[in-house]
C-alpha cells in the first residue's frame, strides 16, 4: 500500500478515509453493495478506476458519500478532502498516508507447493484491513496468523460451498480441536474436513469427516493421521460467496 511518491495513491486515499471513518473492508463492501474483493482491489490501485462504466461510477460515488469525502479528492487528491470543508490552502502533500500500527492486513492466500515439496498458505493479494484489537477480539488468535482462502472442493457441501471465502488461522503445531473444520494436506491432496477426536478400543483416533454424503468419512489412529495428514489451518468463519 505504500507509495514511492509524496502524494498518496487512489488506494491510499481510500484506505485513509476508511480508517478515519472506522470502517473495514467488509463494512464498506456491505454498505456500498459490492464484494470484499472489489474493495480489496480498489485499495491496491495506484490510479483511480475509470468512471466510464455506470456501475463503477455508482460505486465510487457511493464510497465518497459513505466516507464523507469529496469525489474529486478521492479520484485525484484535489483539496479539500471533506465535502463540508472550505480550507483549500493546505497542500495535498500534507495528506501523507501511513497505515496505523494498530491495523493489520489480512491477505488472501493460496495453497502453493514450497521448496520442501509441502503445501503452504502463501499470500497472493490484499484481503482486508482491520485493527489488531478487533481481529484478536473477533477470532481469538494473533492477527499475523489470519488469512483468507477460497473454497475449491465440495467435501463440506452444505456448510462451505465452492467459491465461498473463509477466514483461516494458520496452523503452527497447536493441538487439534474436536469439531473444527481444518484445511488438510493428505494422500488425496488438499481438503477441508471436520476433525473429530475420539477413543476406539482404548486407542486415540481422529475422524476425518465430510458433510457431503458422496464422500466417505474416515477414522485414523493418531499415529497414522500424523504420518499421512498435515493441517495447514483451521476455519474460523465463512464469508459470503464472491
Q: Is residue 1 part of a domain?
A: no
- Return the ∠ at Cα 47 (arms to 41 and 48), rounded to 5°: 75
Find out whether the peptide bond into 165 is cis, omega within 30 degrees of 0: no
Per the listing, cell 497505515 goes with: 99
Q: What is the pLDDT at residue 100?
A: 57
User: Is the CB of residue 164 less than 8 Å from the CB of residue 240?
Assistant: yes
Same domain, 72 and 150: no
Q: Give the per-residue pLDDT at 101.
A: 62
Asked, for residue 2, whether it belongs to a domain, the answer is no
Among 58, 74, 95, where does a domain finish? 95
Q: Compute the distance between CA of residue 22 and CA of residue 15 in angstroms, rounded to an integer.
A: 10
Decide if 149 contacts 169 (C-beta within 8 A): no
pLDDT tens track, the chain, 242 positions? 444 445 789 989 999 898 888 888 988 998 888 998 899 999 988 888 888 788 888 899 999 988 889 898 898 888 788 765 444 444 443 444 445 566 788 888 888 877 777 778 888 887 777 788 888 888 999 999 999 999 988 999 999 998 888 999 999 999 999 999 999 999 988 899 999 999 988 899 999 999 999 999 999 999 999 999 999 999 999 876 43
Please tell me whether residues 72 and 111 are part of one structural domain: no
Q: Based on the domain organization, do 118 and 228 belong to the same domain?
A: yes
Q: Quick one: 90 and 187 in the same domain?
A: no
Please state, in angstroms and rounded to a whole number, the distance separating the CA atoms of residues 194 and 196: 7
Quick one: 81 and 154 in the same domain?
Answer: no
Q: Indicate whether 206 and 128 sit together in one domain.
A: yes
Q: Is residue 207 part of a domain?
A: yes
CA distance 193 to 212: 10
Q: What is the CATH number of the domain that holds 35?
A: 1.10.260.40
Within-domain flag for 4: no
Q: What is the pLDDT of residue 92?
A: 42
CATH of the domain at 142: 2.10.109.10
For residues 182 and 86, membership in a common domain is answered with no
Distance of CA 155 to the CA centre of its chain: 22
Amino acid at each position: 500500500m505504500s507509495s514511492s511518491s509524496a502524494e498518496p495513491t487512489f488506494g491510499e486515499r481510500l484506505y485513509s478515509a476508511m480508517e478515519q471513518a472506522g470502517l473495514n473492508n467488509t463494512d464498506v463492501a456491505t454498505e456500498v453493495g459490492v464484494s470484499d474483493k472489489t474493495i480489496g482491489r480498489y485499495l491496491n490501485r495506484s490510479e483511480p478506476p475509470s468512471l466510464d462504466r455506470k456501475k463503477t461510477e455508482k460505486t465510487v460515488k457511493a464510497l465518497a458519500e459513505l466516507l464523507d469525502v469529496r469525489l474529486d479528492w478521492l479520484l485525484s487528491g484535489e483539496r479539500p478532502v471533506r465535502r463540508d470543508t472550505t480550507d483549500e490552502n493546505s497542500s495535498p502533500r500534507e495528506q501523507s498516508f501511513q497505515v496505523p500500527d494498530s491495523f493489520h492486513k489480512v491477505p488472501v492466500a493460496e495453497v502453493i507447493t514450497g521448496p520442501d515439496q509441502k503445501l503452504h498458505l502463501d499470500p497472493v493479494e490484499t484481503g482486508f484491513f482491520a485493527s489488531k484489537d478487533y481481529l484478536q477480539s473477533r477470532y481469538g488468535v494473533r492477527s499475523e496468523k489470519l488469512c483468507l482462502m477460497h473454497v475449491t472442493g465440495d467435501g463440506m457441501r452444505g456448510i462451505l460451498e465452492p467459491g465461498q471465502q473463509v477466514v483461516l488461522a494458520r496452523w503452527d503445531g497447536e493441538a487439534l480441536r474436536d469439531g473444527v473444520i481444518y484445511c488438510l494436506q493428505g494422500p488425496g491432496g488438499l481438503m477441508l474436513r471436520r476433525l473429530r477426536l475420539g477413543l476406539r478400543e482404548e486407542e486415540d483416533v481422529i475422524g476425518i469427516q465430510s458433510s457431503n454424503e458422496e464422500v466417505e468419512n474416515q477414522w485414523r489412529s493418531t499415529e497414522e493421521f500424523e504420518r499421512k495428514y498435515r493441517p495447514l489451518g483451521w476455519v474460523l468463519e465463512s464469508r459470503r460467496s464472491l
